[in-house]
Amino acid sequence: MAEQSLPVVAEGAATEDGPASGQGISRRALLGTAGATGLVLGAAGGAVGYAAAPAGATPLTSVGSDEVMFHGKHQPGITDGLQARGHLVAFDLAAGAGRKEAAALLRRWSETARRLMAGEATGSHDTDVARDAGPSSLTLTFGFGHGFFSRTGLEKQRPVALDPLPDFSSDQLDKARSNGDLWVQIGADDALVAFHALRAVQKDAGSAAKVRWQMNGFNRTPGATAHPMTARNLMGQLDGTRNPKPGESDFAQRVFVPESGTPAWMANGSYAVVRRIRMLLDDWEKLSLGTQEAVIGRRKANGAALSGGTETTAMDLEKTDAKGDLLVPVNAHARITRPDQNGGAAILRRPFSYHDGIDADGAPDAGLLFVCWQADPLRGFVPLQRKLDRGDALSQYIRHESSGLFAVPGGAAEGEYVGQRLLEG
């Protein structure tokens, strides 16, 4: 739906049937033999791997066996393909908890993430919720909020890019469901695997941190369509057509902090803007198909621009109809969010849809858990949202209800934990 930078309806981070970069590794060939060999993936210490299968058992399907590596240059869950289930959760450090407690917590979280992403149990006190499943493309991603640095005495290491976001005219933010000292993103292609990871993270927090807010989301399940395709959001629009692609020459520059960037502990990291964006679906669904397409600037059926072609055909912003009217309206969402209409500003959107029940008036509480990634939010999300504030046709059908900005450091090397360069530097 969004052209390039939508902070509302992300045009997707990749196809939901595969990772968008080389971070994800399929274990199909390995685990496909599990039934014949009784393969056990447990770590030393007796943690039994969930991907294990006794002799003669049916091996895991490709959905269950797909594994994303925890260790790497970047944290997982940024460039990997969309997952079927997600949880976003923010924590505040407990009273009296500081740098020492935060370091111990990140060490626990990193080890738990490493184990679970490999399809292993967390340890002797595992809940067994995901015992029968494989890794299912599980990812856990960790970030730091603005308040984390004052709570840990690390104010001098707080990035300028983490300054609070400005106010926007479309904001109707609930402060209790915004921001936080720590942020965790969980995604998986199996709901029980994702829930298991969420419970493990919450239990690991112990007395060091308490949950500030939690949100649950979903996407289409891999394999649900006849062929890989761009996902749809709850408005029925294809959502991800013009997302930056890892193969593009400027992808890393747009999404990740360079190794020479400042502060040094953020090298190869990224900044996540998180927004809970409610879709006013009752109002949207009253519109005719033609009106919906004019609001977005794309065909609902196939995502093609109203100027013609297919989903991937470049939009012609000057093309007119027989009456001389622009085929893509001047206030169409897809026009406004194009990088060439915003000084080149671009973000990598990787959202989840959500549905939290029905309000007293019968309206669905549903929409988008918008997550976008960029090397600097002042050059990514902020200018784009300001542009949308000035006349996006979609704005009357959505409502921004919560917001957060988090510094997500680079990936942990073997033997390290996420954020170690900050907390022990």
**Where on the phi/psi map is residue 55: left (φ > 0), alpha (ψ -120 to 50), or beta?**
beta
Q: How far is residue 140's CA from residue 112's CA, in Å, rounded to a whole number?
A: 9
* H or E, element range at 404: strand 398-408
Q: Is 239 a catalytic residue?
A: yes
Q: How far is residue 82's CA from residue 84's CA, in Å, rounded to a whole number?
A: 7
Q: Are 145 and 406 in contact (CB under 8 A)?
A: yes
Q: How far is CA 224 from CA 43, 323, 349, in A?
A: 33, 42, 22
* Token reading at 169: 């005219």
Q: Are 397 and 363 in contact (CB under 8 A)?
A: no
Sort strands 67-68 and 24-25 into parallel, antiparallel or unpaired: antiparallel
Q: Are 299 and 359 in contact (CB under 8 A)?
A: no
Separation of first and last alpha carbons in the chain: 42
Q: How many other C-beta atoms can be found within 10 angstroms of the C-beta atom of residue 193?
A: 28
Residue of 17, 66, 239, 392 with catalytic role = 239
Task: Give 267: exposed, middle or buried? Use CB within 10 Å, 0-12, 13-18, 19+.
Answer: middle
Q: How far is CA 228 from CA 30, 221, 348, 414, in A?
A: 23, 11, 19, 33
Q: How far is residue 182's CA from residue 267's CA, in Å, rounded to a whole number?
A: 19
Beta-carbon contacts of 236 under 8 Å, excluding residues fewer than 6 positions away, are 292, 300
* H or E, element range at 400: strand 398-408
Q: Which residues are catalytic?
A: 239
